[in-house]
Structure 1
Amino acid sequence: MPSTQKALVVTEVGKPVTLITDWPIPEPGPNQVQVKVTVAGLNPHDAKARDYGLFIIRDLTPAIIAGSERGIIDLPCILANDAVGRVTKLGPGVTELAVGDRIVYQPSFAIGSKQNGLQEYALADLGTLTKIPDSVTDDEAATLPTNIIPPLVALFDTLRIPAPWSAAAKDFDYAGTTLLIVGGGSNCGQFGVQLAKLVGIGRIVVVGGDEEKLRSFGATHVVDRHGGYEAVLSRIRDIVGDELVYAYDAVNPLEGQLLALNALSSAKRGVLARLLPIGPVDESRVLGKTAGFEVRDVFGSSHVFPELAGEFWKRVPGFLETGEIKPLGYVVKEGLVADHVNEVLDAYRDGERVVKTHIHL
C-alpha cells in the first residue's frame, strides 16, 4: 500500500475545499481499524465548517473569525462525519472485526482527527461503528451516523428517557409518555421519530415534515407547521394539553425554540433538548411555566457518549434488519471531486433545499 492518498481538504476557512494527492494514509492505533472509504456523506455542519470554522476553530468567536490568533485552528482539515467502507487493517486489540468487513461509523470531531470521510483511507474507533448487514447498502448505512446519533443523545441522555437496553427501562412508562419533536422534516427529526417509536413512546407529536412518511416511522400526531406561531402552538396544545414534559427541537435557532418551550407543561417541570445551542433563549417570552423548565444542549457524538453510543451501535444491524430503523433518502455524486462537494456545501450555505448527498469514492 502507498503511504499517501487523495483527499479533499479545507486549507483555509471561507475557501472551497481542494483536492490534494499526497495526504498521509493513517495507520490504526489500539482499538482502531483502517478503512478504505466507499461513501462519505455530507451534512449542513460541513458547510459551516468550511465557511465559518465550525469544529475547525475551537474558540469560535467573532474575534477568531475575523483573524485573531487566539484559540486552536485545526487546518488543514477533512470533512464528512458519515463514513462507510471496508476494513483494510486492524489495530492492536481489535478482535471483533476482520479485514474485508463492511462497516459504517461516525468519525470523531476531535482536533487532528484522521477519521473523516473525504479521503481514500481513514480510521474508525471501536464503539463508534458497526458491521453493515447484507440486506443494507453502503448508501443506506451512510444515512445514519450524523443524523441518528444526535436524536439518540437527545432522547436517552439529554432528556433522560431511559435507553431501552438500560436497567431503568423496566420501570419507565414509555406508553404513558408524550414527546414533542420540532423539525420532523429534517433527517435528525425523522430519526428521532423512529427512536421514539422503537422504545414505545405512546404519543409522538411531530411538527413539520411529510405526514405519511412520519406516520410510517411512528408519529402518532403530525402538526402542520404553517399559519403562524400562535396557530401552531395552539395545535400542539390541543394534543398535549398540559402534560408535555419532553421536547426535542432538531432544527430551530433561538426564536424558533420558543415554540417547544411554550408547549411544555405549566404544572410539571419540562425539558427542551435542542440541536442548535447558539445562546440563551429569551426566558421572558416563555410564559406561565409555574413549575419551571430547562433548556439542555445536545452534542451528537458517539465519542462524547461512548456508553450510550456503543450499546446502540451493537444493536444497529438488528434494528436495520427488522425495519425498526429505516434509512433515509439520499442522492449520489461519483468521485472524490472538489466541485461536487463545494456545490453541495454552497447549497447548504445559501439556504437551498438539499437532499442528503453521498460522495462515492
Structure 2
Amino acid sequence: MREAHAAASSRAVQLESFGGPEALRLNDVPVPQAGPGQVRVRVTAAGLNPMDWFMTSDAQTAARFGLSLPCGFGTDYAGVVDQVGDGVTRFATGDRVFGGAVSRAVADHVVVGEAGPITVDGTVQHTPDGLDDDLAAVLTIAGSTAAAALAVVGPGPGDTVLVGGAGGGVGVFAVQLALLAGARVIGTGSASSAEALRALGVEPVTYGEGLADRVRALAPDGVTAAMDLHNTDTVRAARELGVPDERITTIAAQVDGITPANGADAAPGALEEIARLVAAGRLRVPISATFPVERIREAVEVQAARHVHGKIVIRL
C-alpha cells in the first residue's frame, strides 16, 4: 500500500434516518483505508445531482438502490489520490482524479475501485490538465447519462433534436453534445431559462400544454429525434410530431416502446471525452452555486427546488 501522508481525521455527510435535507449530518468518521485494487481519494469538491436526495428521501426508495442506514450522501466527486492499494497500476498518490461513489461522495475521503462500475465499487478517472476540481466534480452522473442518451438517438448533421429539460443537470451536457454532433437543438424549459439555453446554442421553447404546436412552429420541417430528461411530456410531444420510437429516449421514466438511457451504460471512454471537451473549453458546464460542506443542508434545499440553472458544488 502506498500513501501520500497519514490522514488523521475524516468527515462525511451522513443520514441516520432517511428523509429531506434536515436529516443530513456532518459527522466525524474513521479514515477509510484502500484495499487491494482500490484507491483512496482526498475529496476537494463534490457535485450534487437530483438522484442524491431522491435515493435517500425515504426507506422504500433507498432500499431500491441498496442503501441502508447509516448512509452517506452524494455521488460525484473530485480530488487527489492519497492512498493506493495493492495491485493498483493506473493511479499513484498525488494524481488528480474525479469519478462517482454512490451515496458516499460528500466526505473528506472516498475509497473506490480502480476499475469498478459506479453502482458497485465506485469509479475513478484521471482529471485532465486544465480542468479544475469544481468542474470535474460535476461530470460523472450527468455527463455519463447524457452520453448514454445521445448513444440511443444518435444525433448528427441534418437532425433536429427536441430535448425536454434542456436546462437541467443532464440537459446542459446533452444539448451541447448534440450540437457538437452537428444537430439543431430545440430545448424545453421555463421562461426564465430561455436566456441560459440560448447561451448554450439551444433554441428554447416553454414546456407544458401545447408543446407540440410550439415546436412545430419553430421547426416546420419536422423533428427527427428527442430526449426526455425530465418526465414523459417530451415523449408525447415527439410522438405527436412523428418522431419514431427508436429515436426517442428517456432518463427519468419508463415508456413502452422507448429505450431508456442510463449513465451506467455509457460507452467506454465517453466520460473521459466529455472531460477533455470541458478542459478544452468546447463544452460549457455552468456552476450555479458553491457551498462549503458545513452548509450541505442549504445546498440540497437549493438543488431540490429544481430552479437552478447549472450545477451545485460542495467544497471540502
After TM superposition, the score normalised by the length of structure 2 is: 0.81
Runs of 5+ in structure 1 lacking a partner? 60-71, 162-172, 282-293
Which of 106, 111, 114 does residue 123 from structure 1 map onto?
111
1:343 corresponding residue in structure 2? 298
Cα distance per residue 1:153-174 (max 9 Å; x no partner): 1111x33x2xxxxxxxxxxx82
Instruction: Please state how far the C-alpha of 1:122 moved relative to its aligned partner.
Output: 0.6
Residues 8, 20 of structure 1: 8 Å contact kept:
yes
Residues 47, 346 of structure 1: 8 Å contact kept:
no
The structure with the largest alpha-carbon Rg is 1
Which of 20, 23, 27 does residue 20 from structure 1 map onto?
27
Residues 244, 270 of structure 1: 8 Å contact kept:
no
1:67 corresponding residue in structure 2? none
Instruction: Please state how far the C-alpha of 1:121 moved relative to its aligned partner.
Output: 1.0
1:8 corresponding residue in structure 2? 13
| Structure 2 residue 166 is the aligned partner of structure 1 residue 184 | yes
Instruction: Please state how far the C-alpha of 1:175 moved relative to its aligned partner.
Output: 0.8
Percent sequence identity over aligned pairs: 25
Cα distance per residue 1:234-284 (max 9 Å; x no partner): 1212344574342111123x456433332343xx5554311212x557xxx
State the one-letter code of the partner of 1:318. Answer: R
Residues 249, 260 of structure 1: 8 Å contact kept:
no
2:189 corresponding residue in structure 1? 208
Q: 2 CA distance for matches of 1:330 and 1:98?
A: 32
Aligned-partner SS, 2:34: coil
Say if 1:27 and 1:325 are closer, same or farther in 2 by CA, change over 3 A. same
Aligned-partner SS, 1:51: coil
Q: 2 CA distance for matches of 1:262 and 1:138?
A: 42
| Structure 2 residue 307 is the aligned partner of structure 1 residue 353 | yes
Say if 1:137 and 1:54 are closer, same or farther in 2 by CA, change over 3 A. farther
Cα distance per residue 1:107-126 (max 9 Å; x no partner): 2x4xxx7xx31221112344
Residues 6, 22 of structure 1: 8 Å contact kept:
yes
Aligned-partner SS, 1:346: helix
Q: 1 CA distance for matches of 2:259 and 2:245?
A: 13
Alignment size in residue pairs: 299
Aligned-partner SS, 1:235: helix
| Structure 2 residue 271 is the aligned partner of structure 1 residue 305 | no
Say if 1:192 and 1:275 are closer, same or farther in 2 by CA, change over 3 A. same
State the one-letter code of the partner of 1:346. Answer: E
Say if 1:192 and 1:317 are closer, same or farther in 2 by CA, change over 3 A. closer
| Structure 2 residue 134 is the aligned partner of structure 1 residue 139 | yes
State the one-letter code of the partner of 1:100. Answer: G
Say if 1:240 and 1:264 are closer, same or farther in 2 by CA, change over 3 A. farther
Say if 1:205 and 1:80 are closer, same or farther in 2 by CA, change over 3 A. same
Residues 303, 312 of structure 2: 8 Å contact kept:
no
Once superposed, what is the RMSD of the aligned Cα atoms?
A: 2.9
Instruction: Please state how far the C-alpha of 1:11 moved relative to its aligned partner.
Output: 1.8
| Structure 2 residue 254 is the aligned partner of structure 1 residue 272 | no
Q: 1 CA distance for matches of 2:70 and 2:48?
A: 18
Instruction: Please state how far the C-alpha of 1:81 moved relative to its aligned partner.
Output: 1.2
Runs of 5+ in structure 2 lacking a partner? 1-5, 116-122
Instruction: Please state how far the C-alpha of 1:196 moved relative to its aligned partner.
Output: 0.9
Q: 2 CA distance for matches of 1:212 and 1:84?
A: 30
